[in-house]
Structure 1
């Protein structure tokens, strides 16, 4: 592993300069394939957050005044900086997250594409300014402007480093906002690269700030008065605390939270296609996805055949260290998450649920959990209703599309959903009625920079990606004048 990424003397990037974090805590960065410590990273402190917030506020006026085309050049600089470091960044994700190589490569490519996409949107921003509105019945006209909301505080999770931060940083900077990012305390290494690139491309001081750390840093970020918006991705439990802290100042907030998403398979579905979609939806990233389609809702007529095919495919799935040949699923990223998943599996087994494959840890070093499927799960059981965030699929059967829709929507969440059917029109009709922000039809989960990402119900507030992601960092100003 490159020492430049593993061993960092300075781990806080504030005002365009690297500094040593002032937190009392040393963050242990581990390899989940072995449980061994890769590196120890100095955490930041509340004082570091205060300095970052002041730097972001100081930089805001100059940054927002830059033409969109000029901001776009910096965004493309981030994309090229990531591109030039791709080999290293892939290895860091393999070591620190336990991602198989193909998954790590997808993550880096996604981050690169996100910066390029928002560079293009930034280039078109100035043309949207002062759009004229001729008000009916009077002598007045209006001019509509889209202006950045201000300095933004951002909190990113551990399951998709680089990606979730790119989804926030790129649109914020494109809009003319300045940003301060709190990295995950479990996977801080890749996000620190954004500071390296910012210095390399000459990004104005304070436009992007990065602070490592845990709860102390997160709390300080939500309380810093310089921030005019908070963007958070993570669990509902922490999201509620962030929302409570921000509510005291009535600030705008975006929350991308959890999910307990359905995948509906109709009677006329192609079995092989269904297996591909189901496997990708629950075992990609070892199930550590807010978008995991962890509830399989299948028509009774094909359920036996589908379950048989799923068990066979799960048995064939190669699980192990990402540095072993042909690995398709790696370990869970953290020890705590591994223990939580194993506890939920044991709880389901003790309740007598039918575990048709998996159902425990793999006997080796590291945080490995077997691909697990529970069949005919009662719809009031914990593993049917609660987010597990691991490679655990719960299944049930239905007798009609109407029943499938009702079961799919019987959840507090509404992030994503999938439909697999031999009739596209039928699948589209089901997708139209599933209460979720992103639906896939007859395809594994693919997310593009120009998609919309976000959910209904308790899955969050607001949207990331696409023009909607940019709009989240823009306020609308209406100037009214007489002719």
Structure 2
């Protein structure tokens, strides 16, 4: 039998229209920042994509000042129906520039073009469409008496879903009448700065949205700025704890969406082949750079051997390589720093006695790549079962009873998400009531919708994004309390 394979099908990188130099977006225009310029890399090759001007403390002051002026004079007094027109226009422009944004996202982030094209960009547009519909209905949404915007929102987003996380943050803030100063991750600032161009195209009033590139010091300047009324942060638990300490005792509102170590639980009556696809999507989507990734697989003992064997066979078919190739399943790790962290934790798994299996797929010599890896024989005390690896690495454990599955699933400081695979509806309902996770998927994994709130418990943060709950995080009532 001849062996058939897909021929390379690369997307044209020129579609991204990458510029040599990008600037911060403050007060409706692009300006040179006072910080040290940074170079953003293509993680698939290590080449420099562009130079980005970063901001200094006076630039952050200017951005917050512009946002305050726009809030008081234009955006907050504007009717909800008028705000909705701008937000809807932004959504349409994201759709119109979708191919450009998808290619740029894959170049700057390393994720496969299929994911950027089919998931990230359409979902980002969907968030703006969804929140445009809410802008004139806040008084009728059960959000308390006289819901009003908080003011200026300082938002910090991570590098794993750059444009999508921007949409999660900016869309509800604008719909509720707030203005925004957003800091993108230093390794993936480009789609945020193209989004600033979209704000200009949409003729958004100056100062309503401001983009301030930079490293962690810029994020600290922003979240501790006295002119910020609300902070929304997505990122590591360590940084989230630091922000919470910094804002303790202030009037600044805060929501945190932090790390995760999700359990994906497979019972003996689960549809095994369907579950295998869900397991693969749960951990290898976006190279495992997903805070809610199903990085712990809990399998009922009686079907564990079958599940692991089928899982390995399926993982061997995944293609690792050029993110711009439409046939690529697993792209590049976002940075050399993240690749080093993955390698360290994988080495700890081997040192502590877990059995490592890595796909025999070829790994490119250039760029930052890591082949999909599955550990079996994992104990709950091992680092690979406790710490967030944030890479294409799966830890497999077994259980005998539903109670044992719950105990093992909850034996983690995190509580962002979980998955359950079984044919019994009663078991799904029972288990979801026991799992300490903000989102629990049943017979699927990694499914998102703008109308569904997302967030965690414990060290995975607090507050919700998406849906009506996500709107409430940007509003206050007559008593100046939570609505």
For this structure pair, what is the TM-score category when the shorter chain's length is used for normalisation?
over 0.9
Tell me the equivalent position of 1:73: 85
Provide TM-score, normalisation by structure 2: 0.93
| Structure 1 residue aligned with 2:138 | 125
CA deviations 1:299-325 (Å, max 9, x no partner) are 000000000001111111111112235
On the 8 A contact 2:452/2:467 being kept in 1, the answer is yes
Which has the larger displacement, 111-120 or 437-446? 437-446
**Partner of 1:369 in structure 2?**
370
Residue 156 (structure 1) aligns with = 157
Matches within 5 A, 1:449-460: 449-460=450-461
1:471 shift after superposition: 0.7
Aligned to 1:381: 382
* Aligned mates of 2:116, 2:212 — CA distance in 1: 23
Alpha-carbon distance in structure 2 between the residues aligned to 1:359 and 1:232: 38
RMSD: 1.9
Q: 1:18 to 1:363 in 2, by over 3 A?
A: closer
Shift, 1:367, TM fit = 0.9
Matched, 1:52 2:63: yes
2:18 and 2:249 mapped to 1: Cα distance?
Answer: 38
Q: How far does residue 20 in structure 1 lie from its aligned partner after superposition?
A: 1.0
Residue 477 of structure 1 is matched in structure 2 by: 478
Answer 1 or 2: which has greater strand percent: 1
CA contact (8 A) 2:266 2:421 kept: yes
**Distance in structure 2 (CA, Å) of the matches to 1:8 and 1:198:** 21
Aligned to 1:171: 172
Deviates most, 175-184 or 249-258:
249-258
Which residue does the alignment assign to 2:39? 28
Unaligned runs of 5+ in 1: 132-143
Q: Partner residue of 1:40?
A: 51
Map 1:352-363 to 2 at 5 A. Answer: 352-358=353-359, 362=363
1:346 correspondence with 2:347: yes
Distance in 2 (alpha carbons) for counterparts of 1:129 and 1:427: 29
Is contact 2:319–2:361 with CA below 8 Å preserved after alignment? Answer: no
The alignment of Structure 1 onto Structure 2 pairs a total of residues equal to: 466
TM-score by length of 1: 0.93
Q: Name the structure 2 match of 1:104.
A: 116
Post-superposition offset of 1:359: 9.6
User: Any conservation in 1 of the 2:224–2:246 contact (CA below 8 Å)?
Assistant: yes
Note the 1:64-463 alignment, pairs <5 A. 64-105=76-117, 106-127=119-140, 144-247=145-248, 249-358=250-359, 362=363, 364-463=365-464
Using the alignment, how far apart are the partners of 2:169 and 2:110 within structure 1?
Answer: 23
C-alpha change, 1:97 and 1:225, in structure 2 (3 Å) is same
d(CA) in 1 for partners of 2:142, 2:404? 48
Cα distance in 1 for partners of 2:467, 2:171 equals: 11
Per-residue CA deviations over 1:414-456 (Å, capped at 9, x if unaligned) read 0000001122322222122111111110013110000110001
Runs of at least 5 residues in structure 2 that lack an aligned partner in the other structure: 1-12
C-alpha distance in 1 between matches for 2:116 and 2:21: 26
Counterpart of 1:141 in structure 2 is none
CA distance in 2, matches of 1:97, 1:321: 12
Matching residue of 2:466 = 465
* Separation in 2, partners of 1:465, 1:350: 41
Tell me if the contact between 1:286 and 1:329 (Cα under 8 Å) persists in the aligned partners. Answer: yes
- SS of 2:62's partner is helix
Q: Which runs of 4+ in 1 moved over 4 A?
A: 1-5, 126-131, 358-361
Distance change (3 Å), C-alpha of 1:42 and 1:360? farther
Shift in Å at residue 266 of structure 1?
0.5
Provide the rounded CA distance (Å) in 1 between the counterparts of 2:54 and 2:253.
27
**Alpha-carbon distance in 1 for matches of 2:357, 2:375:** 6
1:111-132 per-position Cα deviation (integer Å, ceiling 9, x unaligned): 100000000011212556998x
Q: 2:49 aligns to what SS in structure 1?
A: strand
Contact kept in structure 2, 1:353 and 1:374, CA below 8 Å: yes
Cα pair distance change 1:317/1:277, threshold 3 Å? same
Give SS of 1:205's match. coil
Using a 3 Å threshold, how does the CA distance of structure 1 residues 402 and 297 change in structure 2: closer, same or farther? same
